[in-house]
Amino acid sequence: MDGRILVVEWYGKVYQLTSDGKLDKQLKIPGEASNVTQINQDTIAINYPNSPCWGLSFSNNSLAVSLFTGEIRIIDLEGNILRSIVKGCDSTRDFLVYCNDRVIYSDRYGKAVYCINASGQQIWQYTQDLEGPKGLCTDNYGNIIVADYESDRIIVISKDGQNSKVLINKEDGLENPHRICFNRNASSCFTCHSWGSYLAEFDITYG
């Protein structure tokens, strides 16, 4: 929210970086984390790879958590279940975004991105030109930015799921993008390789 970057090593430590990508400190968090999402300036939520919780996203004072079973639960900050969205797709386990009472998730093996409402009803699905979507995020306008792992591309999908554009591809030096996060202060994105060999920031230009 203020330009700092939180980085989680898979089965590892949680680091805080400065806005220019330099190491600030390692957060003193017990165990080996797998996902992180920011709640406010000084509070984060994390989950662990040995738990049934996989994907994690915060919006409107509640968390969307995807479970190993394929179920998505909306919980409050005390851990109480507000609603349950049952979906059978295993690919929801890692990659989802919760915003405006909608859950957007990627299906790597089905080569699709889906948008559903809080009742679990599908609003739209996008299947064009995707080869293996993984991490995703939204920009300031509600567009969805997707790391398409298999094709070495970053793709932006319009908020209604009707149109898309390639932002960065292999010719720009991108390789197997895994996670992606939008920097709302600078209209840029951070992305990392699946094995953590790099963390990169790039400007967002749609024109």
Q: Are 73 and 81 in contact (CB under 8 A)?
A: yes
Please give the Cα distance from 143 to 116 (Å, whole number): 15
Residues 157-194 pLDDT 10s: 999 999 999 999 999 888 899 999 998 888 889 998 87
Distance CA 205, CA 49 (A): 35
Measured from the Cβ of residue 138, the count of other Cβ atoms closer than 10 Å reads 22
- Listed in sequence order, the residues at least 6 apart from 32 whose beta carbon sits closer than 8 Å to its beta carbon are 11, 12, 13, 48, 49, 50
Does position 128 have pLDDT exceeding 80, yes or no? yes
104 versus 3: which is more confidently predicted? 104
